[in-house]
Amino acid sequence: MTIIFDKSKKISLDDESFRSELLAIASKIKDVIPLGRGDPDFHTPKHIVEAAKRALDDNKHHYTPPNGLPELRIAISKNLQEKYNLTYDENEIVVTAGVQESIALAMLSLLETGDEVLITSPRFTTYDLNVRMCNAKPIPIPTYEKNNFSLMPNIIEEKINDKTKLIVLVSPNNPTGAVTPPENIKKIAQIAIKHNLIVIADEIYADLIYENHEHLSIGTLENMKERTLTLNGFSKTYAMTGWRIGYVAGPQDIINKMSEIRHSLSINSCTFSQFGALAALEGPQDEIIKMKDEYNIRRKFCMKALDDIGFSYGDPGGAFYIYTNVSNSGLAASDFCKKLLEKTGVLLFPGTLFGDEEDKYIRLSYLQPINKIQESMNRIKKFINE
């Protein structure tokens, strides 16, 4: 008798299998240029690594409080105030295993069966899975190239009904790199207040905003702190993806609930990683400025190269992604990615992995040294011409 395990509608493996298919093809090619993943090519700055080693040498081998080391939470609170004008004290912060776990904790502590969650889309689809695991429903809020993929308040309002509980605002967004401008953020805040909704503001890319673009943390606006959970972390800004440190800042009662759930999931975030994160906030910031400058050089290079090829894109004001329309190639985006990989060794992910239903876009992450990016653009040009 065959046992059918996959009866659950909560989890679809379709997207995952296409990603795996691309990675399997890539593993057989010698000189692949990977422009698919969202993991910085830089290593974590040395002083952060040294701080974690010191913590181990100093016998910091034990549990911390479930919501994180007090000194780290104090440093996060100071950083949120100085950088984003967000006022949270250390008791309003839970340190998590990356923003990934912040997302899970937020959903687990807020959602009931049947709730609807509005999510900036195309999107980081971790949100879908976490919402579904709570028997709730993800509702994509489409963003469009013609608006540079900014989140448009009127489109949010159209999707609200009496089941709507949360708005997930990701700015800058993954996969589009779009920064939703302050005037839209202010309108989104008014909508949240009018309809009594909670906002999850995923600001993991808020340190990576480039010239002529401005970030506004929605939690700073009047009457918003009490209905906003601000999510942020160390993976992207400090090139610390493997350290698994993120955090949620929010109203005390929700934070207390999360802290309980957090304790039952994994007790606390890795202790020596927390000491590394503390050094990241308290130590010199010049390396993160250098990384950001380098990302900006690559970003501009890619935009120019895409212009030459004739592929359009929404203005990538932040993060390290460009979301590009490849319809000019005559191929659907997923076919484009597969053929490009097989023929040239350039690995890109199609927008279908981020909820693009039209199969027109690809996400390019400029997380390779500039010479590799130049080489990849030459290969793409050649592929198109052939």
Ligand X SMILES: Cc1ncc(COP(=O)(O)O)c(C=O)c1O
Stretch that binds ligand X, among 25-33, 46-54, 95-103, 297-305 (CB under 6 A): 95-103
Cβ proximity to ligand X: between 35 and 204 the closer is 204
Cβ proximity to ligand X: between 224 and 248 the closer is 248
Question: What is the rounded distance in angstroms from the CA atom of residue 123 to the CA atom of residue 136?
Answer: 17
Which pairing describes strands 137-142 and 198-202: parallel, antiparallel, or unpaired?
unpaired
Question: What is the rounded distance in angstroms from the CA atom of residue 363 to the CA atom of residue 276?
Answer: 31
Beta-carbon contacts of residue 46 (< 8 Å; ≥ 6 apart): none
Ramachandran class of 326: left when φ > 0, alpha when ψ lies in -120 to 50, beta otherwise? alpha
Among 51, 204, 208, 280, binds ligand X (CB under 6 A): 204
Stretch that binds ligand X, among 7-15, 94-102, 214-222, 249-257 (CB under 6 A): 94-102
Question: What is the rounded distance in angstroms from the CA atom of residue 223 to the CA atom of residue 191?
Answer: 12
DSSP 62: S
Question: What is the rounded distance in angstroms from the CA atom of residue 223 to the CA atom of residue 66?
Answer: 28
The CB-of-120 to ligand X minimum distance in angstroms stands at 9
Beta-carbon contacts of residue 311 (< 8 Å; ≥ 6 apart): 324, 325, 326, 328, 329
The CB-of-281 to ligand X minimum distance in angstroms stands at 15
* 174 touches ligand X (CB under 6 A): yes
The CB-of-349 to ligand X minimum distance in angstroms stands at 12
* 353 touches ligand X (CB under 6 A): no
The CB-of-223 to ligand X minimum distance in angstroms stands at 25
Q: How many residues bind ligand X (CB under 6 A)?
A: 13
Among 150, 164, 235, 273, binds ligand X (CB under 6 A): 235
Among 36, 68, 98, 351, binds ligand X (CB under 6 A): 98
Binding to ligand X (CB under 6 A): which residues in 19-38?
Answer: 38
Question: What is the rounded distance in angstroms from the CA atom of residue 222 to the CA atom of residue 313?
Answer: 34
Cβ proximity to ligand X: between 124 and 149 the closer is 124
The CB-of-80 to ligand X minimum distance in angstroms stands at 16
Containing 308, the helix (H) or strand (E) segment is helix 286-309
Among 241, 271, 285, 374, binds ligand X (CB under 6 A): 241
Question: What is the rounded distance in angstroms from the CA atom of residue 129 to the CA atom of residue 112?
Answer: 15
* 100 touches ligand X (CB under 6 A): yes
* 373 touches ligand X (CB under 6 A): no
Residue nearest to ligand X (CB): 98
Among 88, 124, 311, 366, binds ligand X (CB under 6 A): 124
* 233 touches ligand X (CB under 6 A): yes
Which pairing describes strands 164-170 and 198-202: parallel, antiparallel, or unpaired?
parallel
Q: Residue 122: is the preceding peptide bond cis (ω within 30°)?
A: yes
The CB-of-321 to ligand X minimum distance in angstroms stands at 9
Please list the residues that pair with 323 across neighbouring strands. Answer: 363
CB atoms within 10 A of CB 187: 16
The CB-of-22 to ligand X minimum distance in angstroms stands at 17
Distances from the Cα of 213 to the Cαs of 79, 234, 254, 327, 345, in angstroms? 21, 21, 32, 27, 33
* 246 touches ligand X (CB under 6 A): yes
The CB-of-162 to ligand X minimum distance in angstroms stands at 28
Among 202, 203, 287, 356, binds ligand X (CB under 6 A): 202
Question: What is the rounded distance in angstroms from the CA atom of residue 170 to the CA atom of residue 192?
Answer: 15
Radius of gyration of the chain (CA): 21
| Token pair recorded at residue 18 | 């296409």
Cβ proximity to ligand X: between 244 and 298 the closer is 244
Containing 169, the helix (H) or strand (E) segment is strand 164-170
Cβ proximity to ligand X: between 243 and 336 the closer is 243
Cβ proximity to ligand X: between 64 and 121 the closer is 121
* 134 touches ligand X (CB under 6 A): no
The CB-of-243 to ligand X minimum distance in angstroms stands at 9
Residues that bind ligand X (CB under 6 A): 38, 98-100, 124, 170, 174, 202, 204, 233, 235, 241, 246
